[in-house]
Chains A and B, each alone.
Chain A
Amino acid sequence: GAGVSQTPSNKVTEKGKYVELRCDPISGHTALYWYRQSLGQGPEFLIYFQGTGAADDSGLPNDRFFAVRPEGSVSTLKIQRTERGDSAVYLCASSAFGVSNEQFFGPGTRLTVL
């Protein structure tokens, strides 16, 4: 079946601009995670959704970052006033909560802030 999809695959923006990154999880997966992966590093947790609510947003670096999942499926990660340090690959993962910890990752969105 279809895996986790993320759009766009690449996003280039200018410092100070606003960006939105989209994640379509595997159908039926109630848990959704956002991670950020800098070059040469492992993914770092940003935020976790169980259904529509953000159950843990402790990984968001500051208040310029925000994420929503209004209908419990698709999620959007929003970054305001982008900075060059926000450049990274943003990964989304989903899992079937209560069944397994196994998280299935999407291909990521590579964000470049000029």
Chain B
Amino acid sequence: GENVEQHPSTLSVQEGDSAVIKCTYSDSASNYFPWYKQELGKGPQLIIDIRSNVGEKKDQRIAVTLNKTAKHFSLHITETQPEDSAVYFCAASLSGGSNYKLTFGKGTLLTVNP
């Protein structure tokens, strides 16, 4: 089955700096890669996703890049703000089949210091 590795496990940045979180996946058939933000006591919230037919996607301060050859994808947050502090999870799944179950990484605790 799919295995997703995520690094780093913790990341501390100063407000206004950029943050980068990296993930690798094992199943070359995976073609859908979402990123979720989880705040304390809440469920994961989708912040951006990318499909394997594109290499990059951007939404305001958030961008995701995908390298299918290397089976590697990354989340980039620019101009970080204290409210960006949370746990971020990457995930992978196979789109177009009969089951879109997600395989998650172990998460990255991002702390943005004012």
Do A and B come together as binding partners?
yes
Total A-B residue contacts, Cβ distance less than 8 Å? 64
- Chain A residues with CB under 8 Å of B6's CB are 42
- Chain A's interface size range is 20 to 34
Please report which residues of chain A, range 29-77, place their CB below 8 angstroms from some CB of chain B when the two chains form the complex.
31, 33, 35, 40-45, 48, 50, 55-56, 59
* Contact assessment for B49 and A56 in the assembled complex, using a CB-CB cutoff below 8 Å: no
Query: By the criterion CB–CB under 8 Å, are B103 and A45 in contact?
Result: yes
Q: Is A103 touching B99 in the complex (CB atoms < 8 A)?
A: no
Within the complex, the shortest CB–CB distance from A28 to chain B, in Å, comes to 16
**Closest CB in chain B relative to A99 CB, distance in Å:** 11
B44/A91 in contact, CB under 8 A: yes
Band of interface residues on B: 20 to 34
Whether A4 is near chain B, meaning CB under 8 Å from some CB there, is: yes
Partner-binding segment picked from B56-64, B73-81, B104-112 = B104-112
Residues A105 and B102 in contact, CB atoms below 8 Å apart: no
Q: Are B101 and A43 in contact (CB under 8 A)?
A: no
The answer, among A42, A55, A59, A105, for a CB contact under 8 Å with B43, is A105
